[in-house]
Chain A
Amino acid sequence: MQMTQTQRSQVAAPIETFRAEALTKVYPGETPVHALRGVDLEMYEGELAVLLGPSGSGKSTLLNILGGLDQPTAGHFYFRGRDVTKFDQEELTQYRRDNVGFVFQFYNLIPSLTARENVALVTEIAQHPMTPDEALQMVGLGHRLDHFPAQLSGGEQQRVAIARAIAKRPSVLLCDEPTGALDSKTGIVVLQAIVRANQELGTTTAVITHNAVMAAMADRVIRFADGNISSIERNTTKLKPEDLSW
């Protein structure tokens, strides 16, 4: 009997999406800031990781490097075996365009485009995208397609942002405090959308948060302190977002 892709990945050794080796990031200045101090980390296909840690612990810096927004001062970072740290600006743009979906705390929607058009912004330049309508259906906004950001609530705006991030079927979904600006009820709806994308698309997903409660929904919980990883835990049982509360 043939195994499905998902079954295989659960049984066989997981396929590596990212590998970071001794990543270091120093912001120069009169007193240089060591944001990352030699981080080693692998992430796997279909995995949902939650990155926890106080402000300034380096998690956002890591996310920026993984997303191709920034380059490390030293160390290497491989995406499916390719050394992204050797990419130039054009290759980084291409890397983001083809592989990465971003979700930010402050949504960053384009106010002059409707929900559908905000998503279309990405699908127009992606290689195998879903339609904007499908993406918005996935985040439960099938009924708000033609609304402009100003006509949407904060949670709805964040879900449009998620739809925009996943519409290109990215290999990687990076979320930086996606619920930081939302109340818990709305936050859970947003998390549901992220989890759904992770499960249905098999997207490697990293969620940065201050909120320790969210650790319970992760495959792995990666804790940061002082520019380095302080611990990695694997959850044996994951909770669904709707079972979380804070």
Chain B
Amino acid sequence: MSALQRFLLRWSMSLKVSALDRKLLRDVWRLKGQTLAISVVVAAGIALLVGTYGCLAALQASKDVFYERTSFADVWASVKRAPNSMHDKLAQIPGIATVETRIVADATLDIADMIDPARGRIISVKEGEIPLLNQFDLLAGRLVQYGRPNEILISDAFAKAHKLGLGDTLSANIYGKKRKLEIVGIALTPEYVYALAPGQIMPDDKRFGILWMGYEALSAAYDLEESFNSVTATLLHGAVEADVLQRLDILLKPYGGVGAYGRKDQISDFFLTNELAQLASSGAVAPPIFLGVAAFLLNIVISRLVATEREQIGLLKAFGYTDWDVGWQYTKLVAIVVGFGLALGLWGGVWFGQGMTSMYTTYFKFPVLEYRVNAGVFASAAIVTVIAGIIGGVSAVRQAIKLSPAVAMAPPVPTSFNKSKFSIWFERFHISQPTRMIFRHVTRWPLRTAMTVAGISFSVALLIASFFFMDSVGKVIQVYFYQAERQTLTVSFVEPRGAEVEESILRLPGVLATQPVRTVSARLRHGPYTKRSAVNGLVKSADMNRLLGADEKPLDPPDGGIALSEHIAKELHVQVGDMITVEVLQERRPVIEVPVTQVVKQYLGFSTYMHISELNRLMHEGPTVTGIHVLADSRYINDLYTKLKNTPMVAGVAQTEASLRGFQDTMDQTMYVMIGFYIAFSSLIAFGVAYNSARIALSERARSLASLRVLGFTRQEVAYILLGELGVQTLLALPVGCLFGYGLAYAMSPMLKTDMYDFPFIINDPTYGFSVMVVAIAAAICAVLVRRRVYNLDLISVLKTRE
């Protein structure tokens, strides 16, 4: 008896615990390995539930509070240039509560600690005032003042990424003029909680920052005096957003309006909402799986316990304990096991939730984002635990209740076996008796074997479904960065330029090749379906930015038609050959009908493509570009950056490698962390199922195995019989698990599709291999643990007692 057991015994005596309860405590102690395995699986499910929903609640609360407090806008619109006098007309649109006009412009920034240029989004503010809508939190410093045109506020994340503080300066290339700007304040805005630069796929705090500048200074810099180019507004309660958007478009059309949009197309809110939805769906999928497995384990362990204790149960009933007294004992056993799992899971869930929440703080910039213990989440965790306990325990407890004392006390009839069709084979191939025992046990209880196989294969499946995310991400990276976007960088211009600009870029140091691109904002329409998208004009035989067909082979942009990303084609319900309406949302806003001539494969940043000269013709313009893709020699890249930073017409430089790095970092920090958790939890399931199965087999067959030892079988030979069964079950489970895994991954893959990403359903062979290996290792570890028990079988006491 260990010191702990002695302590528990004394403690239970001092509490005047009934004999029955003492038996219960000892049962729990005796079965500690098995009950702990179940508790841990319960805990895994609860931890996922509490962590995920707690984090979701934290994000939701932070978002709601931040939006509410800062008057986050409901609608946005951009124009080329509209006079400030339009403001009042806009305010009169029915349904609009508050409207605010401002200037929003992009500039390249030259930061001392970085060679390549960063991109800045500059928003105008009235000097000395906080905006009416999308109010920022001033975290440090003060507002910009009238008459000091070089004062700016910068976003907190950008300041932190470059260790910029109050009084520091940075230089900006604003509309062709180099300006030295002084930081007077640090701010945080609801508009850029998720700060994604145009054309990028992941936020990059080092390369994209938000700046606020006084209206007078910014309007002067951009030749927008007494004018604005951006509108934001909040809506009255009950206003119909679509009506307001339509009226905005009509009013702003003469001023070069680029189409108004609501929150669902506002980049930051779009990502935030998407993330919340994804979190909610992953929180709804994983915990039930774990709790289901826990219920399953609970069922097999408690059922076997009742079966082995049938004599004791009979005795208790013979002594005068009621059926319910006995049932209650086993109910308490279930309660202890799941209760411990719940406690462990709540503790683990808080820890997991904190980790997850702090991970989100790196991507979503809120003033406060803290995981808080949430009573509602805890309560639902407790409820689902109770449900799992009931599902797992009810049949076993009922067995105990229904056992009649006379039946229970009679020795159990020896399990009967029948000669199966295998028997002939056994003889023919001279199969040894131990091997026959393994096969007869596996086939004698097909349901139990099937359950164990199902349990183990489920963990294989869960692993495959977790690893599959990595395969999918790997595929996206391979296609997007190595086949579709092969340029070193993309230069974008403040305004559309003549095609001759390509020549001047080509002459810059280190530039090996260039490829022009013309991008316009458009609304695509097909019957009742509409979609806002950029239309990109590409050249033929492009080497850098390429279209890929369904077979991932490069395609040329269509002649006289339009190519749609698969995702957009699906949303618009169109196929190759259908006609769609393209309403360009800028310049002269032409509207044309074009045939869809290609559907292209894209996993990231869905877009629409035409031949560049077609697009220019549509826009009634000569050869025009908005950007140039550049292939550069890495040896001269610093010179190239320096040149670009000082080139007036450049509004931004996007580096492919930086965005690949950003993408990979994000995956490492978010997805892979989550996947790591899932892998750990899946291994726990494999272990829990295999361990319980082997322990039950051991307790049922200790006598047989001890007899064999007495007959002169070595410990290894006896262990072979017991563990051979586990081995056969595991071997059966591995291929079944691979099949399940394929199905599970397939079922989960739509969860990964958003308006921004389309992670493909792809499972690489190593994923199957890894998953099988992890489970095989988990099974091997339990085999080693159980083998120790086989080695220590007490030969004498086992043989002296009747079963």
A interface residues with partner B (beta carbon < 8 Å): 60, 64, 67, 69-70, 89-90, 93-94, 96-98, 100, 102, 104, 106, 108-114, 117-118, 120-122, 124-126, 146, 148-151, 164
A48 to B713, CA, bound (A): 26
- Bound-state Cα–Cα, A175 to B802, Å: 16
Neighbouring A residues of B274 by C-beta, 8 Å: none
Q: In the bound complex, what is the Cα–Cα distance between A202 and B415 (angstroms)?
A: 36
Q: What sequence of 0s and 1s flags, for each residue 675-718 of chain B, a beta carbon within 8 Å of any chain A beta carbon?
A: 00000000000000000000000000001101111111111010
By the criterion CB–CB under 8 Å, are B441 and A112 in contact? yes
Given contacts A69-B795, A112-B437, A124-B432, contact A150 B413 (CB under 8 A): yes
Q: Which residues of A sit under 8 angstroms from B434, Cβ to Cβ?
A: 121
Given A64-B796, A69-B796, A110-B704, the answer on whether A125 and B713 have CB atoms closer than 8 Å is yes
Contacts of A100 in B (CB 8 A): 712
CB–CB B796/A104 < 8 A = no
The residue on A at minimum CB distance from B795 is A69
**Identity of the chain A residue whose Cβ is nearest the Cβ of B705 in the assembled complex:** A110
On chain B, the residues within 8 Å of A122 by CB distance are 711-712
Chain A residues within an 8 Å CB radius of B796: 64, 69-70
CA distance A110 to B709 in the complex (A): 12
Hey, which chain B residues are within 8 Å of A110, CB to CB? 437, 704, 707-708
B714–A151 contact, CB under 8 A? no
| B417 interface residue (CB < 8 Å to A) | yes
Q: Tell me the dominant secondary structure on chain B's binding face.
A: helix
Please, how many angstroms separate the alpha-carbon atoms of A92 and B719 in the complex? 17
Give the complex CA separation of A114 and B414 in angstroms: 13
Given contacts A108-B799, A112-B441, contact A148 B416 (CB under 8 A): yes
List 13 other contacts, CB 8 Å, given A97-B714, A98-B712, A150-B416. Answer: A60-B800, A69-B710, A97-B713, A110-B437, A110-B708, A113-B417, A113-B437, A117-B436, A121-B434, A122-B711, A124-B433, A148-B417, A150-B417
Interface centre among A93, A100, A164 (most CB of B within 10 A): A93
- List of A residues within 8 angstroms of B709 by Cβ: 93
Give Cα A224 to B437, complex, Å: 40
Contacts of A67 in B (CB 8 A): 710
Q: Using a CB-CB cutoff of 8 Å, which residues 763-798 of chain B contact chain A?
A: 795-796
How far, in angstroms, from A112 to B799 measured CA to CA in the complex? 18
Closest CB of chain B to A187's CB: distance in Å? Answer: 17
Residue among B416, B444, B710 facing the most chain A CB atoms (10 A cut-off): B710
Count chain B residues whose beta carbon lies closer than 8 angstroms to a beta carbon of A: 35
Q: Considering only CB atoms, which chain A residue lies closest to B415 in the complex?
A: A111
Report Cα–Cα, A239/B324, bound state, in Å.
57
Q: Whole-angstrom distance from the CB of B702 to the nearest CB of chain A?
A: 11
Residues of A within 8 A of B497 (CB): none
* B419 proximal to A (CB < 8 A): yes
Cβ contacts under 8 Å, B440 to chain A? 112-113
Minimum CB–CB distance from B657 to chain A (whole Å) comes to 63
* A106 and B802 contact, CB distance less than 8 A: yes
Q: Cα distance A135–B799 when bound, in Å?
A: 23
Is the beta-carbon distance between B418 and A148 smaller than 8 angstroms?
Answer: yes
Contacts of A70 in B (CB 8 A): 796
| CA A216 to CA B801, docked complex, whole Å | 28
Q: By the criterion CB–CB under 8 Å, are B444 and A96 in contact? A: no
* CB-CB under 8 A for A117 and B802, given A70-B796, A102-B711, A150-B417: no
> What are 14 A-B pairs with beta-carbon distances under 8 A?
A70-B796, A93-B713, A94-B712, A96-B710, A96-B711, A104-B799, A106-B799, A112-B441, A113-B433, A114-B417, A114-B419, A118-B433, A150-B413, A150-B417
Knowing A113-B436, A117-B433 touch, does A96 contact B712 (C-beta < 8 A)?
A: yes
Which residue on A lies nearest to B800, using beta carbons?
A60
Q: How far is the CA of A106 from the CA of B433 in the complex (A)?
A: 21
Top-6 shortest CB links A-B: A97-B712, A150-B416, A108-B707, A112-B440, A96-B712, A121-B433
Known: A102-B710, A121-B711. Contact between A112 and B444, CB under 8 A?
yes
Least distance between B718 CB and chain A CB atoms (Å): 10
Min CB–CB distance A105 → chain B (angstroms)? 8
C-alpha gap A70/B441 in the complex (Å) = 30
**Contact residues, B394-424 vs A (CB, 8 A):** 413-419
A94 to B715, CA, bound (A): 11
CB distance from A117 to the nearest CB of B (A): 5
* Interface membership of chain B positions 712-735, coded 1 if the CB is closer than 8 angstroms to chain A and 0 otherwise: 111101000000000000000000
Say yes or no: A149 contacts B414, CB within 8 Å.
yes
Residues of A within 8 A of B711 (CB): 96-97, 102, 121-122, 164
Residue from B433, B717, B802 with most neighbouring chain A CB atoms (10 Å): B433
Most chain A CB atoms below 10 A, which of B415, B703, B799: B799
Measured CA separation A150–B441 after assembly (Å): 15
Most chain-B Cβ atoms within 10 A of its Cβ — which of A112, A118, A150, A151?
Answer: A112
- A96: chain B residues within 8 A (beta carbon): 710-712
Which residues of B are found within 8 Å of A150, using beta-carbon distances?
413-417
Determine if B714 and A90 form an interchain contact, defined as CB atoms under 8 angstroms apart: yes
CB proximity of B740 to chain A, nearest CB, Å = 29
Enumerate chain A residues within 8 angstroms of B803, measured Cβ to Cβ: 106
Taken together as a complex, chains A and B put the C-alpha atoms of A131 and B692 apart, in Å, by: 38
- CB-CB nearest in chain A for B443: A112
Q: Which residues from chain B contact A104 at a C-beta distance below 8 Å?
A: 799
- List A contacts of B433 (CB < 8 A): 113, 117-118, 120-121, 124
Interchain CB contact (< 8 A) of B712 among A109, A111, A125, A148: A125
Q: Are A111 and B710 in contact (CB under 8 A)?
A: no
- Cβ A108 vs Cβ B712 within 8 A: no
Q: Bound state CA distance, A126 and B711, in angstroms? A: 10
Residue numbers in A under 8 Å from B437 (CB-CB): 110, 112-113
Closest to B413 in A: A150
Contact A146 B419 (CB under 8 A): yes
- Given the known interface contacts A93-B715, A113-B440, A121-B433, the answer about A108 and B704 at a Cβ–Cβ threshold of 8 Å is yes
Which B residues between 264 and 302 are near A, CB-CB below 8 angstroms? none
Q: A93 touches which one: B416, B706, B714 (CB < 8 A)?
A: B714
Beta-carbon nearest neighbor of A118 in chain B: B433
A112 vs B445: C-alpha distance when bound (angstroms): 11
Q: How far does the Cβ of B212 sit from chain A's closest Cβ, in whole Å?
A: 80
A106–B799 CA distance with the chains assembled, in angstroms: 8
Chain B: CB-nearest residue to A90? B714
For A69, the chain B residues whose CB sits under 8 A away are 710, 795-796
Residue ID in chain A nearest B426 by CB atoms: A117
Distance in angstroms from A197 CB to nearest chain B CB is: 16
Closest approach, in angstroms, between the C-beta of B799 and any C-beta of chain A? 6
B795–A93 touching, CB < 8 Å: no
In the complex, residue of chain A having the shortest beta-carbon distance to the beta carbon of B711: A122
Of B418, B432, B441, B712, which is in contact with the most chain A CB atoms at under 10 Å from its CB? B712
Select from chain B the residue with minimum beta-carbon distance to A174. Answer: B710
Inter-chain contacts of B444 with A (CB < 8 A) = 112
Chain B's closest residue to A161 (CB) is: B707
Which residue on A lies nearest to B434, using beta carbons? A121
Output the least CB separation between A204 and chain B (Å): 17
In Å, the complex CA distance between A69 and B793 comes to 11
Q: What residue of chain B has the Cβ atom nearest to residue A97's Cβ?
A: B712
Inside 8 A of B418's CB, which chain A residues have their CB? 148
Within the complex, the shortest CB–CB distance from B691 to chain A, in Å, comes to: 22
Report the minimum CB–CB distance from A216 to chain B (whole Å): 27
Give the docked Cα–Cα distance between A164 and B444 (Å).
24
Give every chain B residue within 8 A of A89 (Cβ-Cβ): 715
For A90, list chain B residues within 8 Å (CB): 714
Interface mask (B643-670 → A, CB under 8 Å = 1, otherwise 0): 0000000000000000000000000000
Of all chain B residues, which has the CB nearest A106?
B802
**CA distance in complex: A118, B707 (Å):** 11
Selected from A111, A118, A121, the residue in CB contact (under 8 A) with B414 is A111
Give B44 Cβ to nearest chain A Cβ, in Å. Answer: 35
Provide the bound-state CA to CA distance between A90 and B712, in Å. Answer: 10
- Nearest A residue to B802 via CB reads A106
Q: Which of B708, B711, B795, B800 has the most CB of A within 10 A?
A: B711
